[in-house]
Amino acid sequence: MAVGLSDPDEILPVAGIKLASCAAGIKKNGKHDLVVIVVDEGATCAATFTQNAFCAAPVTLAKKHLSQNTPRALLINAGNANAGTGETGMQNAIQSCVWLSEKLQCLTDQVLPFSTGVIGEQLPMPVLNAGINQVVKNISEDSWLLAAKGIMTTDTVAKAISRTLVLDGQKITISGIAKGSGMICPDMATMLSFIATDANVETDFLQQCLSDVVEQSFNSITVDGDTSTNDACVLIATAKANNRQLNKASEDASLFVDELNEVCQFLAQAIIRDAEGATKFVTVTVSQAQSTAEAKNVAYTIAHSPLVKTALFASDPNWGRILAAVGRAGVEQLDINNVNLYLDDVCIVRNGSVADDYSEEKGQTVMNQEEITIRVELGGGNDSATIWTSDLSHEYVRINAEYRS
């Protein structure tokens, strides 16, 4: 059961974007598993991808196609990652792009492929071909929610959001979907996200915007410390809103970036709220660090600790586990006498030792909540970072033990 998250009711269409989803038969459970996103001509596109050295064939091919052309279509399948599949996997990824390009009458390198699911299995190509033939018949502007469901794997709820703003006197829409629930860690995690806006945005600035907001959203979450082979986040700007083209010098640039950041942070946090087996949504904020990188490293050391995560699941205010994680995070010149530790607004550790006014009852009250904030003040600088994580439950172990069953 997702923590504080339910299926979205409505996602606003984006002019210049059409979508479709179908049950092609790639998943064993018969649910939707194939999604097509069609992009009108004249759009710009930006993307970020997994940093895993064993990146999947579709990731490699999507990077290549994006460097050669502006995409006219995205092809996403769930249930099979097409990763660790060698040259056959690459040829299958190419063939899937050929099939869709023929249906849409565009160039093969104008199709970006994406896959998510089990690693090490070849795509069922006859099933995929039949699915492509089926899915293109249902393309419409209003299929965002179906698409959000079609890219899910172990997710329990669809993840989608829309935001609007005014740029240059024009109403701008940003809509996005994401999937992800386990194998979640920075450098994109086992997640896919597809975001579109009708704003007119210059290509280089669009990429800069996406890279910046991904660092504060999708690269600021962790469930289990595992980075996947298939991660990607794609941002498409269709230019249908007729605003003057945005670039880094535009007066409205910060407004667009702020809204995009809201969209990405919502989707990133939704992944954590729907983390495999999660019963807690946890914010970890580290401040007074010597650099943002140092703050983020401490935050991740806390969030990746199995002892911290199991204490969170047990609602056990065992703050010594958090303090131990801070101590082993490799902070240079750490003065433990300057460290403060909080659960929400309850000060547990003040100046390196248990706070005089702390009680087990106060800590227990916070730990009983579904949503918890862990705050650490290092007392060594002016930089900070925030990441989001979940607890580690029996259900997480069961889901991953039975994943291929």
**How far apart are the C-alpha atoms of 290 and 88, rounded to whole Å?**
48
Which residue bears the tokens 């033939």? 133
159-173 in b/e form (b: 16+ CB < 10 A) is bbbbbebebbebebb
**What's the CA gap between 294 and 287, in Å, rounded?**
10
Residues near 163 by beta carbon (within 8 Å), at least 6 away in sequence: 173, 174, 175, 259, 262, 263
- CA–CA separation, 101 and 110 (whole Å): 8
Length of the chain, please?
Answer: 405
Q: How far apart are CA 342 and CA 166, in angstroms?
A: 39
SS3 67: helix
Bridge partners for 283 per DSSP:
373, 388
What type of residue sits at position 286? V
Residue 231 CA to residue 51 CA, distance in Å, equals 8
Return d(Cα 272, Cα 185) in angstroms, integer: 10
Give the three-class secondary structure for 291.
coil
Residue 246 phi/psi, 5-degree rounding, is: -75, 135
* 190 given a catalytic annotation: yes
Comparing C-alpha atoms, which of 126, 136, 145, 147 is closest to residue 77? 147
Q: How many CB atoms lie within 10 A of CB 16?
A: 21
Q: Which of 48, 190, 197, 229 is catalytic?
A: 190
Torsions phi, psi for 286 (to 5 deg): -120, 125
As annotated, the active-site residues are 190
